[in-house]
Amino acid sequence: MKFQIPIGPQHPALKEPISLRMTVEGEVIRDADIRLGYNHRGVEKLAEEKNWVQNIYLTERICGICSHSHSTCYVQGVEKLMEITPPRRGLYLRYLVSELERVHSHLLWLGVAGHEAGFDSFFMYTWRDREIVMDLLEMISGNRVHYAMNCLGGVRRDIDEAQKAKILEGVATLRKRSEYYFRIGASEPSFVARIAGVGLLSKELAVKLCAVGPTARASSITRDVRKEDPCAVYDELDFAVGTADSCDVLGRVVVRVQELLESYKLIEQMIHKLPDGDIAVKAPRKAKAGEVVSRYEAPRGENLHYIKSNGTDKPERLKVRAPTLANYPATVEMLRNGFIADIPLIFAAIDPCICCAERTVTLVNFRSGEETIVPLSDLRRQAAERRTNAPAKRNAVWPF
Amino acid sequence: MAVLRTLLYLLVYPGILFLFFYSTFCEWFDRKVYARLQNRMGPTHTGRHGLLQPIADFVKLMAKEDIVPEAADKRLFALLPVFGLAIVSTAGLLLPVWNFDLATPGMTSFPGDIIVILYLLSLPTLILFLAAWSSTNLFSTIGGSRVLTMLFGYEVPLFLSVLSPAILADSWRLAEIAAFYQKKPLLILPNLLGFVIAVISVQAKLERTPFDIPHAETEIVGGTFTEYSGKKLGLFRLMMDIELVVASALLATVFLGGFPGGVFVGFAHLLVKTLFVIFLLALIRALTSRIRIDQVLTLAWKYLAPLAVLQLLVVILLKGFLK
């Protein structure tokens, strides 16, 4: 008996609204259909209305977990357009926060993976230790979620010796704990039984479907923007790209824990090598006309910002390709022929950030069930047409 | 006097009052142990150390809005929680808590009561299945089919492992089995394997992690209980709590020598032994992740059932040797 079960838009496994329609036969998934558009906010359009500086804080709000990733990606691009180079110390601090954010994101993900598999103890422990890195981020930037560290031409806050010592201390604790979680995540029998061999994505398929980040690296594709395109500080630091060849959810757990350990290494190196000097240079108000593509390795994978400038103090176009969006096609393939019980695990394994990836709205005609995908530009055109063609508004008439 | 005794039995101990308060205490204990193992506080606010939290939860659910789905079989939907509660409370009456002297057995102790209590403990599973089926929700239906699929897994190992101490004691009466092991405490040891199997099966029967598959919230929302709310959900939760108490007391009777020594000492035995079993159950809950439904059946038929048969074999050989 085939029937369709709706996972979302509201479902306990999902932290954000998205609709996964699963066609199942008994407990086996035969087909999966991902529907987006429940969380569309029009950030890209809004960016065109704001100036270069205001947009730093807007891009930061694209995502609550990888907030620093989006703002760094944006700032990198704009700095290229403005032809300014931040001072070394500023860059080191910027990417120090990046790595701390990666640590916080991966610890959060480990907990979510545990929770989706019904392993709540794992969830409680990883989230407890995530507080350590959250506290470090708060100490550095003053905020827990939207750090607001970036500015055009550097960073906004400096750190002192006492803070350095605290970061090193926190990282040492976290390293010990992460090694313990690695042992649990990769060897606890009931947990491994749930994640090994689940959500298979072969290397060929991962390449074909353009998977990014830990999802691709778990299918033994060594891709990492930090290594391939070593911007700013990463070419001066020693780290390895973690990969796994099991192509399943277990591999994705392993890759993320390896990345945690590499991030600790990076953080320690950055603290030790932190150069003296200024943390920022002054940025011009306007950027030169031109376009730029900025790449950044977010915790979830390659983040891409396309920025077009027309020489004014506002961008003409900002296009964000968040890593989650790149992983959706692969997710559909991973879900096929899995069990219902695997849906939350497979879906969570790409570390989905739904609000990052909302670009279009699907309109479903309620009567005919006909579906149309409407890109933002069309939606805007339709709205404009409706406004111009609309009958003139009647003024309210006094009834007596 | 007989009427008074019956009333005492039905209403106070081990009847509904005792079961209600003790099951809420056990839920508190289970939650507290689970929370401490996860480095959390657990309930703290209501009552001393949060002791009244389960009762507060129950009262809150009783006061909540009660929604019945349009498409549901309304009478069945409403009756099932009451039936379930009645069944597990009846099972509670069969616990040999008043049998200190085999010559004057309690009124609910009779040869074969171990079979009846096992039967009464199987019924809640069917109640849950019917509840899921009658609520007509898609998630409930999947939950219901999972309930039944799991039943085929854990029921046989549970029966086999609970019956092996009975065979060694040469009795089908709970009071006599308990008395046998009180007399020869060393004979508890050969049943250790059976005890482990029974604890795992009871964990599955109570649908707790790693066997919380029928109501796995990240997969099928509330599963069996998706459509249940308010009073009915409260009664179902109470049913599960009482089932936890009765099942752990059954294990304590069969494997750990029952509750000897008069009213007060016997009561202390009951507390210590059931809490020990519940502690083990909470430990399993904290240390494992939810497994898949096919893995439950594999576990049950590849490992638990053969081990239970091995346990039976050991017991039969031992019995021949002792004679």
Q: Does domain A45-357 have CATH number 3.40.50.2300?
A: no
Is this prediction's ipTM beyond 0.90? no
pLDDT at position A293 over 70: yes
Most distant CA pair in chain A, distance: 82
In angstroms, the CA B243 to CA B295 distance is 24
Of the residues B38, B219, B299, the best mutation for testing chain A's interface (the one with the most A CB atoms within 10 Å of its CB) is B219
pLDDT at position B277 over 90: yes
Strands (E), A8-125: 19-25, 28-35
Note the pLDDT tens digit of each residue in B145-182: 889 999 988 999 999 999 888 988 888 888 888 888 88
Q: B313 in contact with A at a CB cutoff of 8 Å?
A: no
Compute how many other C-beta atoms are within 10 angstroms of the C-beta atom of residue A83: 10
User: With contacts defined as CB-CB under 8 Å, which chain A residues touch B290?
Assistant: 117-119, 190, 194, 341
What one-character-per-residue DSSP string does A57-111 give?
HHHHTT-SSSHHHHHHHHHHHHHHHHT----HHHHHHHHHHHHHHHHHHHHHHHH
- Contact assessment for residue B153 and residue B301, using Cβ atoms and an 8 Å cutoff: yes
In angstroms, the CA A286 to CA A311 distance is 6
Mean pLDDT of A143-167: 89
Look at phi and psi of residue B171 and say left if phi exceeds 0, alpha if psi is from -120 to 50, else beta.
Answer: beta
Mean pLDDT of A178-192: 86
> Which residue in the set B142, B221, B293 is minimally distant from A11, CB to CB?
B221
Of the residues B136, B213, B289, B298, the best mutation for testing chain A's interface (the one with the most A CB atoms within 10 Å of its CB) is B289
The per-residue pLDDT of chain A, averaged, comes to 86
Q: What is the pLDDT of residue A116?
A: 87
Q: Determine whether the interchain pair A124/B212 forms a contact, defined as Cβ–Cβ distance below 8 Å.
A: no
Mean pLDDT of B189-198: 90
Note the pLDDT tens digit of each residue in A15-53: 788 888 888 887 888 888 888 778 788 888 888 888 899
- Per domain, the residue ranges of chain A are 2-37+361-389, 45-357
Q: Determine whether the interchain pair A344/B218 forms a contact, defined as Cβ–Cβ distance below 8 Å.
A: yes
User: 3-state DSSP call for residue B122?
Assistant: helix
pTM for the whole thing? Answer: 0.86
Q: B220 in contact with A at a CB cutoff of 8 Å?
A: yes
> Which residue in the set A27, A124, A188 is minimally distant from B39, CB to CB?
A124
pLDDT above 90 coverage of chain A, percent: 20
Phi and psi, residue A154, nearest 5°: 150, -145
Q: What is the pLDDT of residue B101?
A: 65
Of the residues A124, A195, A253, the best mutation for testing chain B's interface (the one with the most B CB atoms within 10 Å of its CB) is A124
Compute how many other C-beta atoms are within 10 angstroms of the C-beta atom of residue A392: 5
Q: B38 in contact with A at a CB cutoff of 8 Å?
A: yes
CA distance A37 to chain B (A): 22
Note the pLDDT tens digit of each residue in B6-54: 888 888 878 889 999 999 999 999 999 999 999 888 898 888 888 999 9
Q: A385 in contact with B at a CB cutoff of 8 Å?
A: no
Q: What is the pLDDT of residue A174?
A: 92
Residues 141 through 160 of chain B touching chain A, CB cutoff 8 Å: 142
Note the pLDDT tens digit of each residue in A86-119: 998 999 999 999 999 999 999 999 998 888 888 8
In angstroms, the CA B323 to CA B320 distance is 5
In angstroms, the CA A285 to CA B3 distance is 93
User: With contacts defined as CB-CB under 8 Å, which chain A residues touch B293?
Assistant: 27, 339, 341
In angstroms, the CA A353 to CA A300 distance is 9
pLDDT at position B105 over 70: no
Instruction: Lay out the sheet containing A301-309: strands in order across.
Output: A290-298, A301-309, A315-321
Write the DSSP symbol of residue A280.
B
Residue A400: band (very low, low, confident or very high) from pLDDT cuts 50, 70, 90: low
The residue with greater pLDDT, A380 or A208, is: A208
Mean pLDDT of B82-98: 88
Q: What is the pLDDT of residue B182?
A: 85
Residues 247 through 266 of chain B touching chain A, CB cutoff 8 Å: none
User: With contacts defined as CB-CB under 8 Å, which chain A residues touch B294?
Assistant: 27, 339
In angstroms, the CA B318 to CA A291 distance is 85
Note the pLDDT tens digit of each residue in A249-278: 888 888 999 899 999 999 999 999 888 888
> Which residue in the set B38, B212, B295 is minimally distant from A193, CB to CB?
B295
The per-residue pLDDT of chain B, averaged, comes to 88
pLDDT at position A173 over 80: yes
CA distance B117 to chain A (A): 31
User: With contacts defined as CB-CB under 8 Å, which chain B residues touch A115?
Assistant: 218
